[in-house]
Chains A and B, each alone.
Chain A
Amino acid sequence: MAQETIAGKNVAVDQEGYLANPEEWTKEIAGEMAKDIGIELTDKHLEVIDYLREQHAQGAQLSIRKVGKSGITDIKGLYKLFPGGPLKHSSKIAGIPKPSSCV
């Protein structure tokens, strides 16, 4: 597990730059990770991120569909917020592991 300094904080990340420990996450880290992906965080983004962190902490399996039913935004909205890979990008910014489809 590599160490990286993000937003002035030393954190453990995996090969693809996802935080190894969700508890090391801060809003500042989220902002910087989002910038790397090319996203400027708004309140709506943060609402999604809070939801993801909450669901992850409860041990839920996350899917685009599930976030689309969260009441925060629908699937189309989620794609607009996190273009290119809504769940991959939002999970990374939320400091939770990369979503895996466990086929």
Chain B
Amino acid sequence: MKKLLILGGGTAGTIMANKLNKALDKEAWDITIVDREKTHYYQPGFLFIPFGIYNKQDVEKPKANFFPPGVNVIFSDIDKIEAEENKVILDGGRVLPYDYLIVATGTHSRPDETPGLSGPNWYKNIFDFYTLEGALALKQFLKSWEGGKLVVAITEIPFKCPVAPLEFVFLAEAFFSEMGIRDKVDISLVTPLPGAFTKPLATKMLSQLLTEKNIKVVTDFYIEKVDNEKNTLVSYDEQEVPFDLLTIVPMNMGAEMISRSGLGDDMNYIPTDKHTLQSKAHKNIFVLGDAADLPTSKAGSVAHFSADIVYENLLSAIDGRPMTASFDGHANCYIETGYGKGALIDFNYETEPLPGTFPLPGIGPFDLLKNTSINHYGKIMFRWIYWHILLKGKELPVESEMTMAGKRKVTG
């Protein structure tokens, strides 16, 4: 029996297990997936929890519901990958040999990397919203908060879902308006980037929205530490931003196991061929989702689109055929902007987010780089699509390769 091993049963690993389970000959292949947690979280939903839009039960389901029968499932921590030996060692010493390995162990919030962040005020007036615990604790805090300085800060690039902090400030603005305390809340977005977003046209569109909503943006601010006594963010060049409530995107890093295995860069991401999605160091290892060092967003849409490429290339490699599928870095992100509206961006390694319609050229129904109600419904409907179609590895009417059809080029 040949062995295919998938590490990580999140969005990327689950999609892959479902696709490969259908494609590989059961007589010849044994598929195993390893994850340490039994719960699958719908991570885009965390954003809605602090504002009471989603509850805990909206964002969690047992992982086991999404793995196909016939795939071996092991719930365990992973000690390390011994890539030269083609084997994985689990915590406790169990050895899993493999012929092909797919690493989909994601990226993780690391508040411990920033001095003072996970100190005495963590979950008192400092929160993250990238974990269920953080989102729930913040919801509790907001119930009785009477206003003050809200600072939403990004610690380091790259981080998971680059539009989420923007969505957070937009939703917070709408939330405080609805609570009748908008005039008592001062909202700032603090970012190490030179603008609200990285790509020029999207930055322009989003900056206009931020200005309209009276949300301040502090750019080029690279956080060194959090001062728990003064309640300030301190940058490496000794600037300070005071806050009453800090909602932060902590430093993101790949799994520690990657570092123990000697396979990662200085942030534990695996150097990966950005087109074939093969590990640069080992031909029988593919890297999927946030675990890779790809120059594109760390996002579920990227995990989804790149799964199609890994699937094809892996089957080619198994058959000894040349790998012809090439990933273009395609990402597609809804941006909630509050008051029942949203924006949508679609881009890849080469093409920045452009205006137009999506997915059907000229028809939509979604509008790219525009703030509309239909985009918001797209995001709301997506949760159902995620649980019922996407994770099961079924086809969606969206191509994995980005298309220029429906997009308008903008000059100047």
Q: Which residues of A are at the interface with B, using a C-beta cutoff of 8 A?
A: 61, 63-66, 69, 75-76, 78-79, 83-85, 88, 100-103
- B92 located at the interface, meaning its Cβ lies under 8 Å from any Cβ of chain A in the complex: no
- B65 located at the interface, meaning its Cβ lies under 8 Å from any Cβ of chain A in the complex: no
Asked if B236 and A101 sit within 8 Å, CB to CB, the answer is: no
Closest chain B residue, CB of each to CB of A88: B194
Provide the main secondary structure of the chain B interface: loop
Contacts of B220 in A (CB 8 A): 84-85
Chain B 191-229 interface 0/1 with A at a Cβ cutoff of 8 Å (1 = within): 011100111000000000000000000001010100000
3 closest Cβ pairs, A-B complex: A102-B295, A103-B162, A103-B198
Contacts of A69 in B (CB 8 A): 266
B334 to chain A, nearest CB (A): 15
Contacts of A88 in B (CB 8 A): 194
In the complex, besides A78-B236, A102-B198, 15 extra interface pairs with C-beta distance below 8 angstroms are A61-B293, A63-B157, A65-B156, A65-B267, A75-B222, A76-B224, A85-B194, A88-B194, A101-B193, A102-B296, A103-B157, A103-B158, A103-B197, A103-B198, A103-B297
Asked if B222 and A64 sit within 8 Å, CB to CB, the answer is: yes
Q: Which of A75, A76, A103 contacts B199 (CB 8 A)?
A: A103
A80 to chain B, nearest CB (A): 8
Contacts of B297 in A (CB 8 A): 103
Asked if B236 and A79 sit within 8 Å, CB to CB, the answer is: yes
- Could you pull out 28 A-B pairs where Cβ atoms are within 8 angstroms? A61-B295, A63-B157, A64-B192, A64-B236, A65-B266, A66-B266, A69-B266, A75-B222, A75-B224, A75-B236, A76-B224, A76-B236, A78-B236, A79-B222, A79-B236, A83-B237, A84-B220, A85-B194, A85-B220, A88-B194, A102-B158, A102-B198, A102-B295, A102-B349, A103-B158, A103-B198, A103-B199, A103-B296
Closest chain A residue, CB of each to CB of B235: A79
In the assembled complex, the Cα of A103 lies from the Cα of B197 at a distance in Å of 8
Contacts of A64 in B (CB 8 A): 192, 222, 236
Contacts of B192 in A (CB 8 A): 64
In the assembled complex, the Cα of A55 lies from the Cα of B285 at a distance in Å of 25
Contacts of B267 in A (CB 8 A): 65
Chain B 281-321 interface 0/1 with A at a Cβ cutoff of 8 Å (1 = within): 00000000000010111000000000000000000000000
Question: Interface residues of B, CB < 8 Å — how many?
Answer: 22
In the assembled complex, the Cα of A101 lies from the Cα of B266 at a distance in Å of 16
Q: A63-B157, A103-B158, A103-B197 are in contact. Are A79 and B237 (CB under 8 A)?
A: yes
Closest chain A residue, CB of each to CB of B299: A103
Closest chain B residue, CB of each to CB of A100: B198
In the assembled complex, the Cα of A2 lies from the Cα of B266 at a distance in Å of 36
In the assembled complex, the Cα of A85 lies from the Cα of B237 at a distance in Å of 10
In the assembled complex, the Cα of A92 lies from the Cα of B267 at a distance in Å of 25
In the assembled complex, the Cα of A75 lies from the Cα of B113 at a distance in Å of 14
Chain B 152-177 interface 0/1 with A at a Cβ cutoff of 8 Å (1 = within): 00001110001000000000000000
In the assembled complex, the Cα of A61 lies from the Cα of B220 at a distance in Å of 18
Query: Which of B192, B198, B222, B296 is most buried by chain A, counting CB atoms within 10 A of its CB?
Result: B222
Contacts of B224 in A (CB 8 A): 75-76
Closest chain B residue, CB of each to CB of A83: B237
In the assembled complex, the Cα of A78 lies from the Cα of B235 at a distance in Å of 13
A70 to chain B, nearest CB (A): 10
Asked if B293 and A101 sit within 8 Å, CB to CB, the answer is: no
B239 to chain A, nearest CB (A): 10
Contacts of A103 in B (CB 8 A): 157-158, 162, 197-199, 296-297
Within 8 A of A (CB), among B96-147: none
Contacts of B158 in A (CB 8 A): 101-103
B268 to chain A, nearest CB (A): 13
Contacts of A65 in B (CB 8 A): 156, 266-267
Q: A66-B266, A75-B222, A76-B236 are in contact. Are A101 and B156 (CB under 8 A)?
A: no
Q: Which of B198, B222, B237, B349 contacts A101 (CB 8 A)?
A: B198
Closest chain A residue, CB of each to CB of B222: A64
Closest chain A residue, CB of each to CB of B197: A103
